[in-house]
Amino acid sequence: MINVLFASGSPGYDDYEAPLRAAFEAAGLAVNLSPEMDPAEVEYVIYGPSKGQLDFTPFKRLKAVLSLWAGVETMVTNETLQVPLCRMVDHGLTEGMVEWVMGHALRFHLGMDTHLQGQDGIWRAGSAPPLARERKVCVLGLGALGSACAQALAALNFEVHGWVRLEKSLEGVTCHHGESGLAPALRAADIVVLLLPATPATTHVINAERLALLAPGACLLNPGRGPLVDDDALLAALAGGLGHAVLDVFDVEPLPADHPFWAHPKVVVTPHIASETRAVTAAQVVAENVRRGEAGEPFLHQVDRDAGY
């Protein structure tokens, strides 16, 4: 029997137990799965950040930690974690993110708010939006989520640019990389989508200087992580030429009720719901990684602890 500890409060064991048992069985693995276990016996930990920082020192037989979340910024600095850490790449999570990004990008592109809020008897002729091909979209981060969003936007004919750390090519997307690639990616962008991980290198990647590069009236979508954006710079830009921001993630979550973002006429706050790991598809990824661990094969989606993602 392989001992697997489920260490996540939210999402919880009740949601995951049946999908995990089915996925382990389908993978031909005999697993002892439990939310409570003697640490000395645990071989794999399925982890959700809601459980807080774990001290892995007593986990003497541990082979890997399998995160249920894509973002692992709270785990990469855990020095008691000495075994491979794998993050979640789940096609349910990816599909959800594509839908959130497309929905908000199209809402801005089509100027839907003008008509949703303007049912006032005024016939606003001549307010047809430009075509998508006339809008530049910039996606910062072209990983599992960013590349799927970039390609979905490109499929609608948006002029899509992306920015990554290491050189990359992606069909339909003009890719930029490294420090020198950021300004060309952002310059004159009408819509910016942030799908970078939170690392020391990405903190406040969106600051006053970068916001000033965007097209007048541009829209910022942040489903990545709060620290990617300098909030004071964003509020200042919104007081000027920046058109709109949709923010799903924040430095402090839940976003305090008195935060200026809530009441800002150019900001929409969503409560970290852009996408979530889906139990059935995520369980298959977890089971595959346990199978790989037992077979001595490389894990899927192993985190580079030095890069921080």
State the catalytic residues: 225, 272
Nearer to ligand NDP by C-beta: 43 or 90?
Answer: 90
Nearer to ligand NDP by C-beta: 35 or 49?
Answer: 49
Dihedral sign for Cα 296, 302, 304, 305, please. Answer: negative
Nearer to ligand NDP by C-beta: 230 or 248?
Answer: 248
Query: Least distance to ligand NDP from the beta carbon of 81, Å?
Result: 17
Ramachandran region of residue 174, left (φ > 0), alpha (ψ -120 to 50) or beta? Answer: beta
Report d(CA 282, CA 88) in Å as an integer. Answer: 7
Closest C-alpha among 301, 274, 309, 289 to residue 95: 274
Tokens read off for 65: 């930690």
The arrangement of strands across the sheet holding 44-47 comes to 31-34, 2-7, 44-47, 64-67, 85-86
Nearer to ligand NDP by C-beta: 16 or 24?
Answer: 16
Residues lying near ligand NDP in the complex (CB under 6 A): 70-71, 89, 93, 141-146, 163-166, 168, 195-199, 201-202, 223-225, 248-249, 272, 274-275, 309
Query: Least distance to ligand NDP from the beta carbon of 209, Å?
Result: 16
Minimal CB distance residue for ligand NDP: 143
Contact 51, 7 (CB under 8 A): yes
What CA dihedral angle connects 21, 25, 28 and 31, to 10 degrees? 30
Query: Least distance to ligand NDP from the beta carbon of 127, Å?
Result: 32
Which residue reads 């037992």 in tokens?
A: 294
Report d(CA 205, CA 236) in Å as an integer. Answer: 16
Nearer to ligand NDP by C-beta: 201 or 208?
Answer: 201
CA 162 to chain CA mean position, Å: 15
Query: Least distance to ligand NDP from the beta carbon of 111, Å?
Result: 25
Query: Least distance to ligand NDP from the beta carbon of 264, Å?
Result: 19
